[in-house]
Structure 1
Amino acid sequence: MNLIKQLLTGALLIGIGCAVGFFIIALLISDKRIDAFDAGIISAVGKLESPGLTKVMIFFTTIGAGWPAVLITAGMMMGLYVWVRQRRELILLAAVAVGSAALNTVLKLLFRRARPTLHRIVEATGYSFPSGHSMAAFTLYGLMVFLLWKHIPSAAGRVAMIILGTFMIFMIGLSRIYLGVHYPSDVLGGFLASGCWLTVSIWFYQRYQDRHAR
């Protein structure tokens, strides 16, 4: 029981930390004190451009949001149901995914940051901060790691799952910078906003599970 309380406290503290980090970035954006950070990373990423890498980045950005992400989420839900048959985990996955999309919409309307316009490889509409693709990726693959962790018996399998989840989150976020549709601070802000939402959601879920078990 003490271990569960420690995990819940840790999750809540991580969520608070992500929220603080997000609002620090938001303040730096409003004061235009993050421009040098954005410009430096955009310049570094731009030097990597090549036709082959562009195709790779378009692939990752395509599966990072919209219908591809919906289909991936639905596939995960089906896999969870077939594998572990836990309806509460399916509800958590659906609720967190929908909530992440809704939170991103609210934050974009709140901050109304225009997208970068220099060297845009693909077109994108709407506001820029925080990145919706980054939020969706962090939510989906972060929750995947959480839900599957206890169902994977081997340490090697868990490590492989963490590496896969981290890789997908990183590549989807990087693709938005590479393709010129987001500033790096948009992506980082998306990760932090999603990290806050995800950890707080897990905190409530684990509290419910604990009470249900008792």
Structure 2
Amino acid sequence: MNLKKYLLIAFSISVVSIIGFSLISLFISDQKIIHFDRVIIDKIQGQETAILTKVMKIFTFIGSAPFVIVLSLFMLFFLYNVLNHRVELILFVAAIAGSAILNAILKNLFQRVRPDLHRLINVEGYSFPSGHAMNAFTVYSIISFLLWRHISNRLGRMTLIIVSSVMILAIGISRIYLGVHYPSDIIGGYFASGFWITTAILFFQYYQEKRYNKKRQQEKETA
């Protein structure tokens, strides 16, 4: 698959994400998604057990800011010292930091109060979109993007995608299970992060292509 097709896919995902986020935010503003949220919450919280609660607390910790910061520092070290990435580090930092900033802006813009139905943990702040959902989607998507070309076999790539997908979904579900987010908060977080991460990748790939073409042109001129 050539670069233009990759860029087209990324652009398509970005457009779908912004449309999806816009629809979710509209439904929330018009109070048209309350029934959907209640049904999903009842289904997920209806599975409550002591062991599952412990597991969900682990996943919600994995999606927290402190864990994301530690994981990001480890990935920066790994990308720089093991995979010899340089320019990619800018993409990684921009993706993580940008996602956090975007989440803060959106939370203060919508100011949605958290659900107060059956909380298993205490959390402050606004609810929409979920910061944990955005953290998970951004971190594991960008890690998958950067590691993909270093994995040559299909099994390895499938494992990468499956693990990333499971982490993203599990962290999102944990927030619903623990009673601190509506399902629409999680979905909105995924859409917001999907838009941000694909936009960042689009600019990164465009820059890389421009940089590559400039280098080739210089080589031709000096040949």
Q: Which residue of 1 aligns with 2:136?
A: 137
Per the TM alignment, residue 31 of structure 1 is displaced from its structure 2 partner at its CA by 0.6
Per the TM alignment, residue 202 of structure 1 is displaced from its structure 2 partner at its CA by 0.3
RMSD: 0.9
Mapping of 1:39-78 within 5 angstroms?
39-78=38-77
- What's the secondary structure of 1:157's corresponding residue? helix
Partner deviation per Cα, 1:105-157 (whole Å, 9 max, x = no partner): 00000000000011100011110000000000000001111110001111110
Q: Which residue of 2 aligns with 1:9?
A: 8
Per the TM alignment, residue 82 of structure 1 is displaced from its structure 2 partner at its CA by 2.3
Per the TM alignment, residue 200 of structure 1 is displaced from its structure 2 partner at its CA by 0.5
Q: Is the deviation greater in 183-192 or in 60-69? A: 60-69
Per the TM alignment, residue 89 of structure 1 is displaced from its structure 2 partner at its CA by 1.1
Give me the whole-angstrom Cα distance separating, in 2, the residues matched to 1:170 and 1:14: 18
Aligned AA for 1:177? Answer: I
Give me the whole-angstrom Cα distance separating, in 2, the residues matched to 1:114 and 1:78: 38
Q: Which has the larger radius of gyration?
A: 2
- What's the secondary structure of 1:143's corresponding residue? helix
What is the identity percentage for the equivalent residue pairs of Structure 1 and Structure 2?
47
Aligned AA for 2:212? Answer: A
Unaligned runs of at least 5 residues, structure 1: none
Give me the whole-angstrom Cα distance separating, in 1, the residues matched to 2:92 and 2:84: 13
TM normalised by structure 2 equals 0.94
Unaligned runs of at least 5 residues, structure 2: 214-223
Give me the whole-angstrom Cα distance separating, in 2, the residues matched to 1:66 and 1:111: 21
Mapping of 1:57-136 within 5 angstroms?
57-136=56-135
Partner deviation per Cα, 1:30-73 (whole Å, 9 max, x = no partner): 11110111011000001110000000000110110221110011
Give me the whole-angstrom Cα distance separating, in 1, the residues matched to 2:42 and 2:35: 10
Per the TM alignment, residue 203 of structure 1 is displaced from its structure 2 partner at its CA by 0.4
Give me the whole-angstrom Cα distance separating, in 1, the residues matched to 2:63 and 2:122: 15
TM normalised by structure 1 equals 0.98
Q: Which residue of 2 aligns with 1:159?
A: 158
- Across the two proteins, how many residue pairs are aligned to each other? 213
Moved over 3 A (4+): none
Per the TM alignment, residue 20 of structure 1 is displaced from its structure 2 partner at its CA by 0.6
Give me the whole-angstrom Cα distance separating, in 1, the residues matched to 2:152 and 2:3: 20
Q: Is the deviation greater in 73-82 or in 2-11? A: 2-11
Give me the whole-angstrom Cα distance separating, in 1, the residues matched to 2:83 and 2:130: 32
Give me the whole-angstrom Cα distance separating, in 2, the residues matched to 1:212 and 1:144: 22
